[in-house]
Chains A and B, each alone.
Chain A
Amino acid sequence: MTDTTPIRRAATQRPLLEYKHVHKAFGAFKAIDDISLEIYPGEVVCFIGPSGSGKSTLLRGTNGLDPFDGGEVFFDGQALPRKQSEVRKVRQRMGMVFQNFELFPHKTALQNVAIGPITVLNTDKAQAEQQAMALLAKVGLADKADNYPVNLSGGQQQRVAIARALAMQPEVLLFDEPTSALDPETIGEVLSVMKALADEGRTMVIVTHEMSFARRVADWVIVFERGKVLEQGPPEQIFEAPTVGRTKEFLGHLGWA
């Protein structure tokens, strides 16, 4: 069922992220039911599937925010440590972008971006802020550096959140439905920032319901259902010729012709 034979260009290298038989249950409910997957360096991988299928749970297990009950995640060849003090070191190398942005409301846009390096990496404040300014410019918000989140639109907040993740110079970026909480008119500005990051060759894992974005930007698409991988493949395959009937059904529900 999980047919990985179609060409996966990046698959010649060692995976940057590897899930081996991970599972997680909430009570008797199996949110993640024995999933094994690889994410390769430089890949943009989109996680799609009906809501409740375990996509967010898988993402939160990836950086140990909600550890799996069993199985292992390997990041850059190393099993994700269970100890808080050690898993922190790994998290520093992974950026995460949330559906609700989760900017820190008591900090300006600039301070939000600079806080990671300042607190976690002990970067000198002036240097961290200079770097933060460059990142805000990169996401098109240099002029909003001194705004507090409350004075930014949803799309702007999410772009600051992306800059905040980038400030840690992560080796992989994890996005959990980054545009689901946005007004339709600001979705585009966030997606175009993400597209630019993809074009830089960054490794990105994106949970999304933006099918046309996934079709256009993903190198690899993984379809989830009930805590399992339903199907995975290059976007051409998943969107144009899914091999599993229920993938077709799911895409049909979203109005994907």
Chain B
Amino acid sequence: MPDFDISPIVDSWQFLATGIGVTILLSLLCMAASLMLGTLLGVGRVYGPRPLQLAITFYVDTMRSIPVLVVIVWIYFAVPILTGINFPPFWSALIAITIHITASIVEIVRAGVESIREGQCRAGLALGMSWPQVIMKIVLPQAAIRMLPAIGSVLSVTIKDTAIASVIAVPEFMKRAETVASQSYQPMEVFTFAILVYFLLLFPTTRTVDFIYRRLSHLGRS
């Protein structure tokens, strides 16, 4: 058993901590953007006109068959050549992961919305509500509760996906861990630490979502 020397981690703690900050920031921004876009597109997928439904389905199916790594490198390396627009690494990763994660959210929202009994919509319409009001006040709040467990697992996928952004040198935690590992020649210590960090980020997150769901689930049953 080799010695376990944590001095490179201690020496670079600020460098690594900033990386964790970037990982968290990138995850949160991706998640927020994906939730907004995914909800919009998910609602469009169910209630929108036929051509819109088809377009959204095409997008979802496409994204499901492309690895997120490919989307990231494509946005970062190919888009500037195609359009002349250059996104900095952080923005490229944000856009790519959001495009990718949104596709999952669309499917979750679609399933959530479709699981709400038709009678719930009828009840809202019978009161004189418009369809947008029915969707906003009745369908989505209930669907959101039912969607929580699935959203929770997408959230953890999102956090994990941000590590892939290291390939385009986004200064997130994985990239910084790699830097420290190669400079100190102690990959075993540094990457073990990385595993620990990701676990400590993800485990409480999924637990918290789970906890919230258990507290709210009865309000989503109709």
Contact = CB atoms under 8 A, between A and B. Distances in A.
B127 interface: yes
With most chain B CB atoms within 10 A of its CB, the pick from A88, A89, A102, A103 is A102
A103 B220 CA distance: 12
A227 to B, nearest CB: 21
B55 interface: no
A119 interface: yes
Contact of A115 (B130, B137, B221): B137
With most chain B CB atoms within 10 A of its CB, the pick from A95, A103, A104 is A104
B141 A92 contact: no
A195 interface: no
Interface in B118-146: 119-120, 122-131, 133, 137-138, 141-142, 145
A91 B119 contact: no
B138 A104 contact: yes
B144 to A, nearest CB: 9
Contacts of A91: 125-128
Contacts of A106: 141-142, 145, 219-220
Nearest to B219: A106
A17 to B, nearest CB: 15
Contact of B219 (A100, A150, A165): A150
Nearest to B222: A105
A63 B120 contact: no
B222 A104 contact: yes
Contacts of B130: 84-85, 88
Contacts of B120: 102, 104
A65 interface: yes
A164 B142 contact: no
Contact of A148 (B117, B122, B219): B219
B119 A100 contact: yes
B216 to A, nearest CB: 8
B218 interface: yes
With most chain A CB atoms within 10 A of its CB, the pick from B123, B145, B219, B222 is B123
A41 B141 CA distance: 38
A98 interface: yes
Interface size class of B (residues with CB under 8 A): 20 to 34
A168 interface: yes
A105 B219 contact: yes
Interface in A48-85: 60, 63, 65, 84-85
Contacts of A92: 127-128
Contacts of B222: 102-105, 149
A226 B137 CA distance: 37
A65 B129 contact: no
A98 B118 CA distance: 12
B153 to A, nearest CB: 22
A120 interface: yes
A116 interface: yes
A104 B145 CA distance: 13
Interface in B96-132: 117, 119-120, 122-131
B141 to A, nearest CB: 5
A89 B123 contact: no
Given A88-B130, A91-B127, A116-B128, A102 B122 contact: yes
A96 interface: yes
B119 A164 contact: no
A217 interface: no
Interface in B172-222: 218-222
A168 B221 contact: no
Contact of B127 (A84, A100, A105, A116): A116
Contacts of A84: 130-131
A94 interface: yes
A115 B221 CA distance: 18
Nearest to B116: A105
Contacts of A104: 120, 123-124, 138, 142, 222
Contact of B126 (A65, A103, A150): A65
16 contacts: A85-B130, A88-B129, A92-B127, A95-B126, A98-B122, A98-B123, A102-B119, A105-B222, A106-B141, A106-B145, A115-B137, A116-B128, A120-B127, A120-B128, A150-B219, A168-B128
Interface of A: 60, 63, 65, 84-85, 88-89, 91-92, 94-96, 98, 100, 102-106, 115-116, 119-120, 148-150, 164-165, 168
What 4 A-B pairs come out closest when comparing CB atoms? A92-B128, A102-B123, A96-B126, A116-B127
